[in-house]
A and B are shown apart, each in its own frame.
Chain A
Amino acid sequence: MIWDWAFALEILPTLARAAVVTIQATLLGFVIAALLGLAIAVARIAVPRAGWAISVLVELIRSTPLLIQIFFLYFVLPNFGIVLDAFAAGVIAIGVHYAAYCSEVYRAGFDNIPRGQWEASIALNLSAWTTFKDIIIPQAIPPVVPALGNYLVALFKETPLLSAIAVLELMQTAKIIGSETFRYTEPITLVGLFFLAMSLVSAMLIRGVEELLNRRTIR
């Protein structure tokens, strides 16, 4: 028999615990990506002199595989005295990697703000901080929520990479179950289904948020 229901049911609690780790990694990683990405995009405008260095950094992060960045944080940084546990290293790597992508999304959002909004802010003598916080960011973010949402889903689907440094997320747990029981069909299928279900749910949530924002901004 190819599919064993009893076995599937038996491993479900273990997988469920691992799913919690996957979701934690996703959410923490995305918080880093969203905030650091915003900080990068703001720095690009607020500190023009740093623009070149920031571009190089973003390009570097985007042009190298996430897996290498994960390995770098986990295996190379300890040589420089920075020791991170696997979960922390993995989440930071994913967060920084997607921050590079998110920063480009925010940048597009900022680019779409008419020059007159900046000029009115100067004429009213607003500080740079207030200009970003009250004028630019509230107008720039709603239109880019769908793009950010897509990166949330993409980031989520890349969390299995963390199994490469033995974080006990879903994929790693499934692999362990497989190697211990010599049955891979159920654990791998269940993990796949979980990702499918979560991706669909997130897509729906993102659409909901999008509609909410549209209703609030288009009057």
Chain B
Amino acid sequence: MTEQPMVRFDKVSKRYGSLTVLDGLDLDIGRGEKVSIIGPSGSGKTTVLRMLMTLETINDGVIWVEGEPLTHMQKNGKLVPADTAHIRRIRSKIGMVFQSFNLFPHMTAMANCIEAPVTVLGMKRADAEARAAELLEMVGLGQKKGHYPSQLSGGQQQRVAIARALAMRPKIMLFDEVTSALDPELVGEVLEVIRRLGREHDLTMLMVTHQMGFAKEFSDRVCFFHQGKICEQGPPNELFGAPKNERTRQFLHAVLEAG
């Protein structure tokens, strides 16, 4: 890749006590690239996203975002732990959508979407509302602006969560099994929104998913994780069509069997 990657994991390790969850992970994600992460439970998929979102500290290595270290600062040519201002500046490039939505239950859909733009970006309330209205419209919830999360279905809540993340104008969007908590009939509407995002926005997207069909159709690249390492990666038609690694074959076989 000649262009600077949007995100670079550089020998990143994560341990919980004696348990090594990620082991020297190297992963480059290009600008605008759509990358899916698949793999068995406990292989460290969620941890990758959480580290990039700074929800988890890392034990070794460096994560780079557009050529800048995420949790470190360059000082006299050395990397030192970053201060809050630095972390917040880099973090502003990243948005995340969670499996369990995590909407603010005491706020309407609209209030959820303008909270950060007003308090963090310093947008005027009216401007933030106009932008949030557009986003809620885009995710098909133009009529639900005044609804509280408890008045919305799971699929609708997740679409609000997507709009809320987009309101901060991130360059990178992280999706962690965003349809896993949904009733099957609601999965489609959320995936449709993500599809639309991929088409219409110049976003770099990194998603953990168990929807193999979606990963195949949507992503530019699929990474198969196993025991804290990328076991195999490649374009979806290769990885799904002709997996080279025995573990990948076993995993895909098991998943397709179950699905």
Contacts and interface: CB of A to CB of B under 8 A. Distances in A.
Interface of A: 114, 116-117, 119-120, 122-127, 130, 134-135, 138-139, 217, 219
Contact of A135 (B104, B148, B150, B165): B104
Nearest to A216: B106
- Return the 10 tightest CB-CB contacts between A and B, nearest first: A116-B102, A120-B102, A124-B116, A123-B96, A130-B119, A219-B148, A125-B120, A125-B92, A125-B91, A138-B106
Contacts of A127: 88, 119-120
Given A125-B120, A127-B119, A120 B104 contact: yes
Given A119-B55, A139-B105, A139-B106, A125 B116 contact: yes
Contact of B164 (A119, A124, A139): A124
Contact of A125 (B104, B106, B168): B168
B164 A122 contact: no
Nearest to A124: B116
A119 B98 CA distance: 9
Contacts of A114: 102
Contacts of B139: none
A126 B92 CA distance: 10
Interface string B51-64: 00111000000000
Interface string B118-159: 011000000000000000000000000000101100000000
Interface in B87-117: 88, 91-92, 94-96, 98, 100-106, 115-116
A123 B49 CA distance: 11
Nearest to B167: A124
Contacts of B54: 122
A37 B98 CA distance: 33
Contacts of B151: 219
A189 B109 CA distance: 56
B98 A120 contact: yes
Contacts of A135: 104, 115
Among the interface residues B53, B95, B106, which one has the most CB atoms of the partner chain A within 10 A?
Answer: B106
Contacts of B148: 219
A139 B55 CA distance: 21
Among the interface residues A119, A125, A138, which one has the most CB atoms of the partner chain B within 10 A?
Answer: A125
